[in-house]
Amino acid sequence: MIPGLKLYYDLMSQPSRALYIFLSMNKVPFERCPVALRKLQHKTTEYKTNVNRYGKVPCIVEPDFRLAESVAIYRYLCQKYRVSSYWYPEDTVRQARVDEYLAWQHLNIRADISLYFFHVWLNPLLGKEVNADKTERLRQRVDNGLNFFERTLLCNGKQPFLTGDCISIADLSAACEIEQVKIAGYDPCSGRPHLNTWMNAVRDFTNPYYDEAHKFVYRLAPEHIATPAVLDDD
């Protein structure tokens, strides 16, 4: 291992999973530094001082540089390491299309899914009330967001990946995000055959790392959501 690149992550975090898969796929050596979000390890003064001042995962730390935010980290790694060019194309127009998705997703697909996941799955664990009206409103947001994703961004299956014929960091980031909603008992692929095809394509392309990164998602998803079997390795 080239000494120096540490990844701070939690496999319960969508962008952590995507970055873990990206590093593994591209054979970038890294030291695994798990951070337990459930123990609020990312909120400690020590973590904020020594790892990530924003108090979030994922984050990379090198001897003389630290960087947070998966979208920024992808770009940094693509410049610094030998990474297959389809992940973040050099062509200005194709790169712009990847950038556009990665900027858009924060307040759309990512926000939609995170809000639903927090309200429906995390709130009961924290002893907080789950409000039926709010659940319905949030479910509607997820429905609309995933319908737009399938119909407009994937062009109803006419386009295999988000920005064209090749996978990119936009697809990887999106698939890891959408997997999260399964934990809350929502099947994103039900009634969305093109989304299903695309998710399988991202998974096939990035396995075995995709399944490795999603082992907790697969275990936590309720029975009515079909997920691959995972080995009970830890």
From 65-73, 126-134, 196-204, 224-232, span contacting its own copies (CB under 8 A)? 65-73
Site for its own copies in 39-58 (CB under 8 A): 53-54
d(CA 130, CA 135): 7
Residue 106 beta carbon to its own copies: minimum distance, rounded to whole angstroms:
3
- CA–CA separation, 120 and 138 (whole Å): 9
178 binds its own copies (CB under 8 A): no
Q: Is 107 in the site for its own copies (CB under 8 A)?
A: yes
Q: Check residue 65 for interaction with its own copies (CB under 8 A).
A: yes
Confirm or reject binding of residue 111 to its own copies (CB under 8 A): yes
From 88-96, 123-131, 176-184, 224-232, span contacting its own copies (CB under 8 A): 88-96
Q: Any idea which residue has 């990530």 for tokens?
A: 52
Single out the segment in contact with its own copies by CB under 8 A; choices: 25-33, 95-103, 193-201, 213-221.
95-103
The HSE-up count of residue 82 (CA atoms within 13 Å, CB side) is: 2
Cα distance between residue 199 and residue 205, in whole Å? 10
100 near its own copies, rule: CB under 8 A: yes
Among 26, 99, 135, 216, the residue binding its own copies under the rule CB under 8 A is 99
Query: Comparing C-alpha atoms, which of 29, 159, 28, 2 is closest to residue 84?
Result: 28
By CB under 8 A, name the binding residues for its own copies: 53-54, 65, 67-73, 75-76, 79-80, 92-93, 95-97, 99-100, 102-104, 106-108, 110-111, 152
